[in-house]
């Protein structure tokens, strides 16, 4: 034992939060990170937003277009990772049915509080 408080999770047992008809999410919050598993139907749109959290988005299946505030667009498909620095405005559109794993640091306090309305519009 190393003295740390360790936990093992299985995504099957994590409750799914339906954000809107074509987007749902599962999330696990650690002390210094949040990891989220997003399920996006083709055409699902995450409205433009920004947050204090650094973000890494790994597309596990499908393809997602990320649109940055400066107008740059990135198509991220299976096996690719998108890095979004803190406080950078961005949006996303699912080009196919997609599963995306997002990792955030620090943890997503807005998700814990249900203050993530940009995901629910």
**Residue 115 pLDDT:** 87
Residue 5 lies in a domain: no
Contact between 11 and 37 (Cβ < 8 Å): yes
Each residue's pLDDT tens digit, 63-107: 999 999 999 999 999 999 999 999 999 999 999 999 999 999 999
Helices (H) and strands (E) in the chain, counts: 1, 10
| Domain interval for residue 115 | 32-119
| pTM of this structure | 0.91
What CATH number did the domain enclosing 66 receive? 2.60.120.10
Each residue's pLDDT tens digit, 11-62: 999 999 999 999 999 999 999 999 999 999 999 999 999 999 999 999 999 9
Domain count along the chain: 1
**Residue 62 pLDDT:** 98
């Amino acid at each position: 034992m190393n003295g740390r408080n360790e936990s093992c999770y299985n995504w099957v047992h994590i409750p799914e939060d339906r954000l809107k008809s074509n987007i749902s999410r599962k999330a696990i919050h650690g002390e210094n990170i949040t990891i989220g598993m997003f399920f996006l139907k083709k055409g699902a749109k995450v409205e433009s937003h920004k947050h204090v959290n650094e973000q890494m988005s790994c597309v596990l299946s499908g393809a997602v277009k990320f649109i940055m505030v400066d107008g740059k667009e990135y198509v991220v498909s299976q096996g690719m990772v998108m890095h979004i620095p803190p406080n950078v405005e961005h949006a996303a559109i699912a080009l196919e049915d997609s599963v995306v794993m997002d990792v955030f640091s620090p943890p997503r306090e807005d998700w814990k509080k249900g203050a993530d309305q940009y995901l629910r519009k």
